[in-house]
Amino acid sequence: MDAEAIKRSLGGSGLRCTPQRYAVMAFLMEHNSHPTAAQIFEAVNRVDPRSSRATTYNNLRDLVQAGLVREVAVEGRAARFDAKGMRHHHFICDRCGNVEDIEWYDVPRPASRSLGKRMLRECELIFRGLCTKCALRDTLPVKCRRHVGTR
Amino acid sequence: MDAEAIKRSLGGSGLRCTPQRYAVMAFLMEHNSHPTAAQIFEAVNRVDPRSSRATTYNNLRDLVQAGLVREVAVEGRAARFDAKGMRHHHFICDRCGNVEDIEWYDVPRPASRSLGKRMLRECELIFRGLCTKCALRDTLPVKCRRHVGTR
DNA sequence: TGAAGAATTTAGATTCTATCTAATGTGACA
DNA sequence: TGTCACATTAGATAGAATCTAAATTCTTCA
Ligand SMILES: [Mn+2]
Ligand SMILES: [Mn+2]
Ligand SMILES: [Zn+2]
Ligand SMILES: [Zn+2]
């Protein structure tokens, strides 16, 4: 949304604000759908200037390294990305694979005994189950369920 | 370790105890290193009987579906697997990528308000930071650090 | 200014990971 | 013993990410 804020955060991380990099960052800030690299590539190329696939991957890597973007570890195939705005947890749907934000709350750290000499940087909490849409679909009368089980 | 126990758990899940499937399960129970499918394939093929790559993947998929094996959500490229023994959390090293087990403790559920109509099945807690080896390496005197930063 | 040099982008090739296909093998059970 | 669902197999294919080497853009500073 705020173009100046994006420029500042890129500059503050030692990254030039190129049109391609800006487009990736802006797209992630405008959408909370946790898109894949391929989806981001397609979306930013619906408007000028065009960006190559390699550049999209390069920029996502740089933004993650700079701490501006998070790569959501999801067991599916393609990585999904997320602009690091407000802290939050994630809910991943068993059935449709959607990744949804869950309001953040503090997670108790492990006992220092079980942590040993490791240096803890962050705790990530991932919830799994059925998203609202899939949960409702499961409770529908049988005659209304079609194509269940077809992936 | 206990061959009979493995046979029982496979049978109990409706899976035949084939030599290939047994080898995958036994390897995962003997190693807590969270190997990739490629590593498992290579390991079980160092001994007879041989198993094809497709079978290794098929069996890993079946074992995960049966709930005997867990696929660890890790940001890297290849999925990593884990025999579901005692419940535990995971620690992933920022530097070397190793996945280590952390003693399990209860995780507070999100407020039902923020969960909405979603059906929660499980909470997965992932810690990130530096593993013991990498943390120690970082605190060594500079003259002893070699090859730092070479991937 | 305007080189020089560093950072970035690019198309396409390549590598890596996982799944699919269709043929073959195997074993539990009648 | 015959049957049939379950399993395995090699190789093809698909999908995701990275690499390469050349071109382009930006920053610096003489
Ligand atoms: Mn998110
Ligand atoms: Mn584990
Ligand atoms: Zn869903
Ligand atoms: Zn480490």
Tell me what pLDDT residue A141 has. 55
A74 vs B contacts (CB less than 8 Å):
73
Which of B71, B89, B129 is opposite residue A119, by nearest beta carbon?
B129
User: In this complex, do A125 and B130 lie within 8 Å of one another by their Cβ atoms?
Assistant: no
pLDDT bin (cut points 50, 70, 90) of residue A26 is very high
User: In this complex, do A128 and B122 lie within 8 Å of one another by their Cβ atoms?
Assistant: yes
Average pLDDT over residues A19-42: 95
Domains and CATH numbers, chain B: 1-84 (1.10.10.10), 86-151 (3.30.1490)
Q: Evaluate if the CB of A98 falls below 7 Å from strand C.
A: no
Are B78 and A73 in contact by the 8 Å Cβ rule? The answer is: no
Are B126 and B70 in contact by the 8 Å Cβ rule? The answer is: no
pLDDT bin (cut points 50, 70, 90) of residue B1 is low
Q: pTM score, two decimals?
A: 0.86
Q: State in Å, rounded, how far the first CA of chain A is from the last one.
A: 36
pLDDT bin (cut points 50, 70, 90) of residue A73 is confident
pLDDT bin (cut points 50, 70, 90) of residue A151 is very low
pLDDT digits (tens, 9 = 90+) for B70-122: 999 788 789 999 999 899 999 999 888 899 999 999 999 999 999 999 999 99
A143, pLDDT greater than 80: no
Ligand number nearest to the C-alpha of B135: 4
* Of B5 and B146, more confident: B5
Average pLDDT over residues A53-70: 96
The half-sphere exposure of A107 on its side-chain side, counting CA atoms within 13 A, is 23
b/e map B44-77, b = 16+ CB within 10 Å? bbeeeeebeeebbbebbebbbeeebbbbbbbeee
Strand duo B88-93 + B80-83: pairing: unpaired
User: In this complex, do B114 and A102 lie within 8 Å of one another by their Cβ atoms?
Assistant: yes
Interatomic CA distance for residues B132 and A120, integer angstroms: 10
pLDDT bin (cut points 50, 70, 90) of residue B132 is very high
pLDDT digits (tens, 9 = 90+) for A27-38: 999 999 999 999
Are A72 and A99 in contact by the 8 Å Cβ rule? The answer is: yes
* Of B31 and A3, more confident: B31
Distance to chain B for A14, nearest Cα, Å = 19
Helix ranges (DSSP H) in B67-116: 112-115
Tell me what pLDDT residue B96 has. 87
Average pLDDT over residues A48-70: 93
Interatomic CA distance for residues A63 and B33, integer angstroms: 30
B138 vs A contacts (CB less than 8 Å):
119
For nucleotide C7, the protein residue with its alpha carbon nearest to C1' is A16
Interatomic CA distance for residues A103 and A18, integer angstroms: 32
Q: What is the mean pLDDT of chain B?
A: 87
User: In this complex, do B125 and A124 lie within 8 Å of one another by their Cβ atoms?
Assistant: yes
Residue A150: closest CA among A72, A102, A95, A71: A95
Tell me what pLDDT residue B149 has. 32
A140, pLDDT greater than 70: no
Q: Give A91 Cα–ligand 3 centroid separation in angstroms.
A: 10
